[in-house]
Amino acid sequence: MDQILSLAATNLLSPIILSFALGVAASLARSDLNIPEAVAKGMSIYLLFAIGFKGGVSVADHGIDGTLAASLLAGIVLSAALPVVAFGLLQVMGNLSRLDAAAVAAHYGSISIVTFVAATSVLDSSGIASEGYMVAVAAAMEAPAILSALWLISRGGDSRRMDPELLREIMLNGSIVLLVGSFVIGWITGVDGLAKISAFIVSPFQGVLCLFLLDMGLVAGRGLRGGSGVLKPGVLVFGMVMPLVGATFGCIAGLLLGVSTGGVALFMVLSASASYIAVPAAMRVALPEANPSIYLTLSLGVTFPFNLTLGIPIYVAIASALTGG
């Protein structure tokens, strides 16, 4: 417990979390602080490229073993299974319609890449190593949850087919293409490639992440402000309980796979996080009758801040304790 509290305190006082807190506070106080849309987009491209590239370099440097394929498979299974768990929990806690519950559940099977990036940053600063291919696991976990949500709806007699265009949009969304593409580039070019561009993708990384999380804080604050009346107490509690449930599943998967301490922590983070970019877009196409205010406020305004401030240190501490790392 002491380890968790110590790590939580360190994490809460880190520049990235304080930047996020500044954004939330500024937004709630209705400040006109604003990050231009194009700047935010540029920073997200930078972060995705850097994290993907460094993951690829790590794989090139350390080589791959049998756990890569098993980890990818585990990620896909987790992404497909967690919406079923979330849907069941929502039936008990949320009192939502079947459509809204399925849409929310899809978000909790998919992942938040920003939470993943923040977690890798915490691991790096704590000196905890992780498998570079976890970037690929993150990419693999984006889409299966959406198919699970449609399956949950079809079980209720409301058949929704996945149109090929939507499937193409999900599989080739910009974040996945950039993450996987930069991972492959890092893998091909290895340590030599990293040496050539490290001044760009290593040194400025933490600073850019601070500014990006400042923007995410502004967005989360606006979401909370706008959606404060949307969430019923049960749904609000779900937004903080489901990450812990997901993290438990991720922890079990990581331990069974025998990955490193950092790998277990990242499995927990990925399973605990909720999407707020790819899945909302897919839900607007596939389940337009579902209320976007519920799933966006929940994933962006509740679960994202929870994971960023309390979740990540808890997951890292538990992974360290269980793996002896």
Partner 1 sequence: MQTHKAKRVAIIIEQVMQSRLTDALSDGGVTGWTVLPVLGGSGRSGAWSREGQVSRGTGMVQVVCIIKPERLDEMLDAAFAVVERHIGVVTVSDCEVLRAERF
* Residues near partner 1 (CB under 8 A): 27, 34, 37, 165, 216, 218-219, 222, 226, 276-278, 280-285, 288-289, 291-293, 296, 300
Looking at the Cβ atoms of 197 and 281, the one nearer to partner 1 is 281
First-to-last C-alpha distance (Å) of the chain: 15
Looking at the Cβ atoms of 54 and 107, the one nearer to partner 1 is 107
Residue 206 CB neighbour total at 10 angstroms: 14
Name the DSSP letter for residue 271.
Answer: H
User: What residue has token string 């950092």?
Assistant: 262
Residue 15 CB neighbour total at 10 angstroms: 13
Beta strands in the chain (DSSP E): none
Report the distance separating Cα 82 and Cα 144, nearest Å. 10
Closest contact distance (angstroms) between CB of 158 and partner 1 is: 12
Is the distance from CB of 292 to CB of 283 less than 8 angstroms?
yes
Closest contact distance (angstroms) between CB of 122 and partner 1 is: 21
Contacts (Cβ under 8 Å, ≥6 apart) of 192: none
Looking at the Cβ atoms of 224 and 257, the one nearer to partner 1 is 224
Query: Which tokens is 71 given?
Result: 């980890």
Report the distance separating Cα 162 and Cα 115, nearest Å. 28
Name the DSSP letter for residue 309.
Answer: I
Looking at the Cβ atoms of 136 and 287, the one nearer to partner 1 is 287
* 3 state SS of 164: helix
Looking at the Cβ atoms of 34 and 97, the one nearer to partner 1 is 34
Closest contact distance (angstroms) between CB of 106 and partner 1 is: 12
Looking at the Cβ atoms of 207 and 226, the one nearer to partner 1 is 226
Closest contact distance (angstroms) between CB of 276 and partner 1 is: 6
Closest contact distance (angstroms) between CB of 5 and partner 1 is: 31
User: What residue has token string 């897919």?
Assistant: 282
Closest contact distance (angstroms) between CB of 218 and partner 1 is: 6
- How far is it between the farthest Cα atoms of the chain? 56
